[in-house]
Amino acid sequence: MIAPQTSPPIGSLKGVGPSAVRTLNELGIRTVADLFNYFPYRYDNYEIKDPQFAENGVSLTVSGRVQSEPVLTFYAKRRSRVVVRMMAGRSLITVVAFNRPYLKKSLSPGKEVTATGKWDRNRAELTATEFHVGRQDFTETMAPVYSVKDGMTVQRLRTMVRRAFEQFPDQITETLPRSFVEKYRLPERKTAIHEIHFPTGPESLKQARRRLVYEEFLNYELKMQSHRQIRQKSEKGLSIHIHMQKVHQFVAQLPFALTQAQRRVVGEILEDLQAPYPMNRLLQGDVGSGKTVVAAIALYAAVSAGYQGALMAPTEILAEQHANSLQKLFHPFSVTVALLTGNVHGKERQLLLQELAAGHVDILVGTHALIQDDVHFAGLGLVITDEQHRFGVNQRKKLRIKGKEPGVLYMTATPIPRTLAITVFGDMDVSTIDELPGGRKTIRTYWIRHDMSGRLIAFIRKQLKEGRQAYVVCPLIAESEQLDVQNAIDVHASLVRALPGFQVGLMHGKLAPDEKAAIMDEFKANKIQVLVSTTVVEVGVDVPNATLMIIDDAERFGLSQLHQLRGRVGRGSYQSYCILISDARSETSQERLRLMTETSDGFKLSTFDLKLRGPGDFFGRKQSGLPEFKLADMVHDYKTLAAARDDAAGMVKSPAFWKDDVYRQLRRPLIDSGITDSANLD
């Protein structure tokens, strides 16, 4: 039998005394295994170079003789700086070293030294992170750099890792079953870990990294997938007995045929509703991909089986619009749809709640007014939330507990890159509508500068004369909402002047809800031809006659947001246009705007956005909850992540995983965190 997996404490490593132990502990290194798993975050090249040929800002190693008496300065508390001049190659340079006062003694003029650090070409100055008196005894091109803190140096850590490999060669054992190592042609764990610390070459480092990234993802996914498995086996959810014939009838009378993607996701949702576990599904699809109809079908399936449904939207305008669309879609059927927003008060509200509790309302649509304490359902079977990432986790949960474990479907029009979807929503099932209904024309997108606004006005006028309508979106600019509103007011005023004979409306966040709704109604009825607004039109509004989306200072919006806004047009049969106005000069802004003009693929845009902004910023500050990986990068390594996810899903389902010895090491973290054999729940 293999000995139990307890790694020797770090203090048992030769040359590591009590004070080093303390510092290492602070870095999270308690055992020898922890040290092996303390990976470098980059590699330095110690090849000695002539600074004359080095670019500004690079990491550089130079060698040469000291030319001046070192100057030591103390500043702040226990902070110091040594400055010395040295001849490196044919250049006389300044070398600065921080917090190493002892260098003052060893750097006398004429001494040979080697220094590594960041090169400031303009000042001919090297900020040394490493200093060796004498000639350097190593010239590695890929020396590991670890994150360290006071009391520990990179060099010392390097020595310790080297020593650990000598002293404890058998501490690194294989965690993956042979079959997986072979399937992906991964290096053995021991090889990989040695290589990640002391690479022998770029290719073998790449292989080592590949192996460790896979392992990191696999461990993460094993957790997610076992949670998911446990939920699916819990049998606590409603098992709705769906009348398939009724659902088919409903689908058959729609004014259009479902796209293949719509049909697929409807299938996935209905299967969840029928299953004994509670549905926990994310439905994502680009703007205009037809999520509303899918939601309606799911709601109809629940209602025709005797349950109630709820649909929660982030804004009143959107809630109203959903209620209207559902009422239209359900018109031929005896399905009651009611709307509950903050605008519904007093008696009207009282009555509505009574009807709801009595089961006379089949579908309740609304804003977060739906989650108030006095809202009771008779038998809530399905909860749908639109634009799910706008609601906090708690709000979603509150709605959910209004039923007895109803199915929950989250809809979002922000296409979430696959890589993020499977991590952020790792314990959710994801359905994707990846196809737009046919016959739709691509929206032509142009990027213009402010000095072209004369031609833009002419273009707007032409569209309006043809009977079409336009949106003009002004960004949030200042910290103060007042200023933003003022900006929209100014744009509105200038358009009123420029477009005589047409009605130009103005909408912004400072208006009361009923004022907003009134303006929106006028726009829908084409009593207003141009709607100037701050970003309130962002979600959901459906006005097929609008063909022009003009976005001012477009560089101030995220790519996904621009794409969302663009999705407001192109909803009818007319050719539509999106005009981005921007004088942006920065390269990334220009690249983003150019990408907007080149692609209408929301997934492509959001993936790009993710690469640009990083996962943390993708959803904005609050939503993150993103896992942190040591080596793995969710964006770049997403194929590996997808593979790990599939493998993990397969593993947790198989009884062998929970029993066999080859899985012991993979199983351990799960058991440690209290996850037990989910296969045993059968």
**Binding residues for ligand ADP (CB under 6 A):** 256, 258-259, 262, 285, 287-293, 413, 437, 542, 571
Give the separation between CA 421 and CA 423, rounded to whole angstroms. 5
> Is the Cβ–Cβ distance between 162 and 72 less than 8 Å?
no
Find how far residue 17's CA is from the centre of its chain. 43
**Best CA proximity match to 46, nearest among 153, 157, 143, 158:** 143
> Is the Cβ–Cβ distance between 517 and 492 less than 8 Å?
no
- For Mg ion, the closer of residues 221 and 387 by Cβ is 387
**Best CA proximity match to 191, nearest among 9, 45, 36:** 36
Residue 262 touches which of Mg ion, ligand ADP, none (Cβ within 5-8 Å per kind): ligand ADP
Residue 64 touches which of Mg ion, ligand ADP, none (Cβ within 5-8 Å per kind): none
Residue 63 touches which of ligand ADP, Mg ion, none (Cβ within 5-8 Å per kind): none
- For ligand ADP, the closer of residues 186 and 411 by Cβ is 411
Residue 287 touches which of Mg ion, ligand ADP, none (Cβ within 5-8 Å per kind): ligand ADP
**Best CA proximity match to 391, nearest among 634, 620, 626:** 620
- For Mg ion, the closer of residues 144 and 540 by Cβ is 540
Strands 143-145 and 42-44: antiparallel
User: Which residue intervals of 234-364 are DSSP H helices?
Assistant: 244-252, 260-274, 291-304, 316-330, 346-357
State in angstroms the smallest separation of the CB of 291 from Mg ion. 5
B/e letters for 121-139, b = 16+ CB within 10 Å, e = fewer, are eeeebbebbbbbbeebeee
Where residue 99 falls (left for φ over 0; alpha for ψ -120 to 50; beta otherwise) is left
- For ligand ADP, the closer of residues 505 and 570 by Cβ is 570
What is the DSSP code (8-state) at residue 2? P
State in angstroms the smallest separation of the CB of 386 from Mg ion. 7
**Does an H or E element contain 547, and which?**
strand 546-551
**Does an H or E element contain 95, and which?**
strand 91-98
Beta carbons within 10 angstroms of residue 275's beta carbon: 16
Beta bridge partners of 386: 411
By CB under 5 A, is residue 292 in contact with Mg ion?
Answer: yes
State in angstroms the smallest separation of the CB of 302 from Mg ion. 19
Q: Is 276 helix (H, G, I), strand (E, B) or coil?
A: coil
State in angstroms the smallest separation of the CB of 567 from Mg ion. 9
- For ligand ADP, the closer of residues 229 and 325 by Cβ is 325
- For ligand ADP, the closer of residues 201 and 267 by Cβ is 267
Residue indicated by tokens 């634009």? 387
- For Mg ion, the closer of residues 375 and 384 by Cβ is 384
Give the separation between CA 61 and CA 49, rounded to whole angstroms. 6
As separate numbers, helices (DSSP H) first and strands (DSSP E) second, the chain gives: 23, 21
The string of DSSP codes covering 555-568 is GGS-HHHHHHHHTT
State in angstroms the smallest separation of the CB of 210 from Mg ion. 40
Residue 293 touches which of ligand ADP, Mg ion, none (Cβ within 5-8 Å per kind): ligand ADP
Looking at beta carbons, which residue is closest to Mg ion? 292
Binding-residue total with Mg ion (CB under 5 A): 2
Residue 389 touches which of Mg ion, ligand ADP, none (Cβ within 5-8 Å per kind): none
State in angstroms the smallest separation of the CB of 287 from ligand ADP. 4
- For ligand ADP, the closer of residues 232 and 561 by Cβ is 561
- For ligand ADP, the closer of residues 31 and 262 by Cβ is 262
State in angstroms the smallest separation of the CB of 263 from ligand ADP. 9
State in angstroms the smallest separation of the CB of 292 from Mg ion. 5
80 phi, psi to nearest 5 deg = -145, 165
State whether the Cα torsion 266-415-561-343 is positive or negative.
positive
Beta carbons within 10 angstroms of residue 230's beta carbon: 17
- For Mg ion, the closer of residues 381 and 540 by Cβ is 540
Of the candidate spans 82-90, 252-260, 475-483, 532-540, the one that interacts with Mg ion by CB under 5 A turns out to be 532-540
Residue 426 touches which of ligand ADP, Mg ion, none (Cβ within 5-8 Å per kind): none
Residue 435 touches which of ligand ADP, Mg ion, none (Cβ within 5-8 Å per kind): none
Looking at beta carbons, which residue is closest to ligand ADP? 290
- For ligand ADP, the closer of residues 262 and 600 by Cβ is 262
By CB under 5 A, what part of segment 535-554 binds Mg ion? 540
- For ligand ADP, the closer of residues 112 and 542 by Cβ is 542
Give the separation between CA 336 and CA 321, rounded to whole angstroms. 16
Residue 290 touches which of ligand ADP, Mg ion, none (Cβ within 5-8 Å per kind): ligand ADP
Residues 6+ apart with CB under 8 A from 15: 159, 160, 163
State in angstroms the smallest separation of the CB of 628 from ligand ADP. 32
Structure tokens at 490: 């100014």
Residue 31 touches which of ligand ADP, Mg ion, none (Cβ within 5-8 Å per kind): none
Structure tokens at 609: 């956005």
State in angstroms the smallest separation of the CB of 172 from ligand ADP. 50
State in angstroms the smallest separation of the CB of 363 from ligand ADP. 16
Residue 403 touches which of Mg ion, ligand ADP, none (Cβ within 5-8 Å per kind): none
- For ligand ADP, the closer of residues 437 and 513 by Cβ is 437
By CB under 5 A, is residue 325 in contact with Mg ion?
Answer: no
State in angstroms the smallest separation of the CB of 250 from ligand ADP. 14
State in angstroms the smallest separation of the CB of 673 from ligand ADP. 38
By CB under 5 A, is residue 284 in contact with Mg ion?
Answer: no
Strand order in the sheet with 308-312: 337-340, 363-366, 308-312, 380-386, 407-412, 280-285, 429-433
Residues that bind Mg ion (CB under 5 A): 292, 540
